[in-house]
Structure 1
Amino acid sequence: MGRSALSAANALVDGELRPATITITDGTITAVTLGASGDDAGAGAYVLPGVVDTHVHVNEPGRTAWEGFATATEAAARGGVTTIVDMPLNSVPATTTPEALALKRSRAEGQVRVDTGFWGGAVPDNLGSLEGLWDEGVLGFKCFLIDSGVADFPPLGRDQLHAAMREIGGFDGLLIVHAEDPDVIASSPAPPSRAYADFVSSRPDEAEVAAIARVVDAVREHGTRTHLVHLSSARALGLIADARAEGLPLTVETCPHYLVLDAGSVPDGATEFKCCPPIRDRGNQDALWDALVDGVIDCVVSDHSPSTAAEKSRGGGDLQQAWGGITGLQVGFAAVADSAVRRGVGIERVSAWMSTTPARIAGVAGKGAIAAGYDADFVLWSPTDSYEVHAEALAHRNKPTPYAGLTLQGRVTRTVLRGETVFDATTDAVPATATGRLLRR
């Protein structure tokens, strides 16, 4: 690969946009010199660390008709994402054994356009043998406290959650938790309905609050590093803030769809908006933004979870029957950046939430910053360009997305992975050869 340099009038270095020349040797940043002799990024463009999306359901093998490594990572590259971490479900088999991980890696080899890591799964049947997956390089272990929606990834009961925490804490691993309480949801009305308000009522705030309280109690008892995925309800923020003030090793993510979309604007029967936990009201959205700014929520990741049109249309618009998952990997960064501008939040904060912090929490080495020793992964971002999201133009295998029709301010003009361009908006092209690497902890 050799040696090269990228000179930029606005590069995000140490949390500030400043002129800089970035020296790259064999795909790694070897020096960052303040001051720039030119502007290779283009007039007005920013050079930011590549986005690190640690919550992506690729679904291959087994449900490759829903997505797949080739399509998911092309969508990532087009959206400025240079690293993804694949969830252990909804692939078949789920990534709950070293053998399943080896199969997934074999399917990903040669297909990925961005660097790709893997989460393992913690389910009742593999408790007691999680360290084998850890030794094979997974970044941590995903569990559900409620039915996951697929039979081969069952939830952990109360005692099993404690068993998982004891085991994972024993080798200083990371547990990531889908926190909704099954008892609260079982007692909530869930009639067949196309009305989005009925669907939200079937997954109430109390389900997240109760489950997070249970997780916090377990973290307090075991001291295990724990991460809450896709926080939807702002009513849990006080509980989280108290846990953090107590010094518990708890981190939290939210997602672009909770920050950009709100329940009041969701049409009835629009299954592309269905996800669990659900998109809530505008006041809730405002509180999530405040929590990000205040540091109560750590990061923003996509929870990209597409399915086939048949799964999304199951029930003819009945939101109880349709598959729950948002398609948004390619547009998540742009959507959050657009909303941030409208709220007076700078791109520096957005990059910290969507690059630096996810990489740190997941332990993805060499990602998320423009600094010597880091991989030369960049997203070149034009803050003045705007575009309308067209679902059919997205690289995702299945196109329906709740972001369709939005006009977003700001655009990815180029994505660079270890010094090599993997997307160029000028030609709307990705290279013929996929050069992403498979990451191990």
Structure 2
Amino acid sequence: MISRPLRIIWKCFKWSFLLTLPFAPITALPTILGILNGIYFAVWQDARVSSNTDTWLYELKDIANDWGLPEMTFRDFQEKENEFHVLRLNSNDWASKLGFLHPQEYAKDTDIPINKYGDLDTLMVDTTSSCRAPNEQWVYISEFAWPSINEWDAAFDAAVQAAYIPSALNETRIFFAKCQDTAGFLCGVWGVKAPALMHFSVVDSAPLPDDIEFGLTYSTSTSNLRVVTARVIEFPLKDSYTGLPSSVFPGPEEQMLAMMRGDKLWEQFDPWNDFVQSWLRFHEYIDKKFYDRKGTILCYLGDVEEWIVDHFEKPLGLESTDGIVYSITFLATTTLVNIFILGPWHAIRQTFLDFLGYPRRGEIILGDDFEKEWNPWDDLMGMPNALIQVLDKVLKEAEQGKDYSEDKITTTSRLRTALSSESSGTADFKW
């Protein structure tokens, strides 16, 4: 089953290589960069999923450790006592506060990936709900929510105050979320970078069959559903139309109010896409770690690539060739690394750890019984110990009715001595 896809991939690579051979001086470097960045991206994305999982579990643990007082819980206190005076979104309740529906399978299937709890591609609105969400909603993504210190937080605070003035903004609902607090999981899954605005809009017509992913169902009929579209507006704005006159300096407050109060200015931003957001965050990461640091291999390769583009591709009118070759190589490398390296590695690793009895990540973070150091020898000795206990029971029953002197050592006592010495011998074993 694996050999056939490999042959197809090899044929595509071979013919692509042969067709681009005349342009080897131009395509060689994008190919190398595509392979290197594809490997980096696959590993980075894998680590990002693991990080989101840990963030989700720690946030659930914080919720479980709320005050739990009848008058007010710690979470209630956090939501009401904030500088923005609007409702905050947390990783565990964001969809319900916005009035959105997730597929029923997300609540029923225990094997669903954790990232799905923050999925923006499958959101729906139930038109029959008594608390139906408005057609437009705004969510401000903040790092710490400090309007007295951060200029963008102060700009959002001014936008909240403007919502009380009769305008189109007054007809929407406004929320905020903190990446460094109870919405860290959402910021990770959505791939957003504070400061940013998330805009949620609801279409007026029922979804088409293609709008609903195969195998997913909702708690109401399709005719009662409406598709939700999310968009990300990250600040500061770059090459975006704000509608501001040339005489107005587009500072933080002006940019944010222009987006929120403008006539559907949010339509100039594409709907949220998981790969696009991951691509943006990855290139920020790799530029900072490699391309912008003198002395790294990728920094030198990037400089050479810029020289080739300026002196060869532009004069020949082949500017797009670089991007096409890089994108194909990047996507192919990422796919191969995920399928043939990271996928099998995680499967083998988890199977081995399950065999040794190592607790899952959720059990370690949420449980209280895993503070002691894990000793795999105890799990490996589980079957021999069980066998010794069975033999001990059989010999004890066989020896019933016999008289032994106090100084006589029985077979049963030998087994007990061996078991106790074995346990004491493995107690100091460290993995």
* TM-score grouping bracket, smaller chain normalisation: under 0.3
| Larger helix share, 1 or 2 | 2
**Structure with more relative contact order (C-alpha pairs < 8 Å, separation 6 or more):** 1
**TM-score normalised by L of structure 1:** 0.25
Larger Rg belongs to:
2
